[in-house]
Structure 1
């Protein structure tokens, strides 16, 4: 049990997947970032579960889910979320993704629009090339071996304590260090390090992010989208939110002051209000194959916003 909620397990394609499922109401799928797990959402799960069915998985290779030699691409993760929802008997969701999970959320909405009612991305990857050098470092040769040394018991305890001390001091530069400490501690597991390296290499190279939604952002015309960012984000710059405003003008963008890369942790009450308002103020997307086909054919020029009858 974590955060007062039971962690459940289900085996899909031979791999055990961990998840939390709690609450009643419309379904929210909460997707965590790189090297994190479902516990990143602990500050908001209880309140959100009062209005929603909250599903917060540990993505494959993370947390208490298995860490096999497997497909760690963004598309592979989207497929995994479809399969998890199918096993759980959940047909449609509002998908909320943080950081790398935002990229998975966007891919899920792209691959499975018929199962996506709304899309919210939080400090998301996939909206620009820039990313913290620490993320790029994961992809470099020697990362696995170096972290193996740094996470030996004595060094790991000192490192975790130092990061948490800096986080307690406060300030823009160190506000996210408590979560960094949790990630660093998790790297004591060689399987977690290998999985994280595989994931990072699928989306980042030495120049920065290599996966983008820019060429498909126009598809959000057919789906409610809300983008949330912390103004003081040092991992993925908040100015990436401006990319959304240019590429997906129908999306709503909200930048939260005095928040870093984890705005749902820095301001959980505000974050929950944003999610609640998003669901309350928007109608669920209704998938139309004909409309989707029209959007794809017209590209960024896009189709009219009036509903298109599905005659396919």
Structure 2
């Protein structure tokens, strides 16, 4: 993420681990969760526009950006707990949570674990809706990935690679554009992997959610709980990391959700078309009532969901794995 943030990065230390975040604006709170190997800077194109109307909280997840990179819990549940703790430290009770890619998985886990703190949920090119994912991410959990990246991120080699990637992103147009669009972000990720601690964290994170067959974690078994929380899905039509057809999987799992597919966009629609993305998010918030947690209702949903899962989950999972 080569963009330079004008927003001050703030820190808090929890359980001995330092976490970073930026905070901007005033109003209803948006929690923006970045994707795998990214950090809060992925949201820079939209933070200022959103901050005109909302309080925007954009953290660096543990193991990313300038947050600590310890030997720690890099599961979705661990990240969801970390976001609850951040909000508690900041004195924030309820949020609309927006998650991109892996951050979408964290957002879904957060909403599941802490429905009383979740007003709405927007998933952007999210994981968790089907097994397919680019092979480049699958390779991260391979035994030889760590030492190979140690070589590929040596100064001379890394500089050539990142220059080539950024040049392809800048000049690769026409029919190749859908393949070159996101290569500048790939270059930024490769640059961050020069840090051995970052590679360690990313490897452990990926092993928690992906194997050789693809994504392990799925929302299909708990999608019925989204009936209580307004939900939207945004995708780039030319996403080469996670297929855009997963947006249809989401619609099948949660018929009440909104789906927006952005043309001329890849895996980072919020960066490709920030003004349009900000409008979509604002409209989603303005036109939906925030969820109100009710324990009795949640209990009823769990009970009815167990019965529903017995008859529908098998067919949904089959659809997800064959899509």
In terms of fraction of residues, the more helix-rich structure is 2
Is 2:181 the partner of 1:175? yes
Aligned to 2:81: 79
Under a length normalisation based on structure 2, what TM-score does the superposition of the two structures give? 0.92
Residue number among 240, 243, 262 corresponding to 2:249 in the alignment:
243
Is 2:278 the partner of 1:272? yes
Residue number among 216, 241, 257 corresponding to 2:222 in the alignment:
216
SS at match of 2:222: helix
Aligned to 2:42: 40
In 1: Cα distance, 2:70 partner to 2:144 partner: 20
SS at match of 1:21: strand
Cα RMSD of the aligned pairs, angstroms, is 1.1
In 2: Cα distance, 1:50 partner to 1:224 partner: 22
Aligned to 1:17: 19
In 1: Cα distance, 2:264 partner to 2:168 partner: 17
Is 2:264 the partner of 1:262? no
Aligned length: 302
In 2: Cα distance, 1:300 partner to 1:126 partner: 20
- State the Cα distance separating 1:3 from its structure 2 match: 1.7
Aligned to 1:166: 168
SS at match of 1:214: coil
SS at match of 2:7: coil
- State the Cα distance separating 1:2 from its structure 2 match: 4.2
Deviates more, 1:262-271 or 1:1-10: 1-10
In 1: Cα distance, 2:97 partner to 2:242 partner: 20
In 2: Cα distance, 1:121 partner to 1:301 partner: 27
Q: Deviations over 1:19-44 (max 9, x none)?
A: 00110000000000010000000110
Residue number among 43, 55, 58 corresponding to 2:57 in the alignment:
55
Structure 1: state its 5+ residue gaps.
303-312
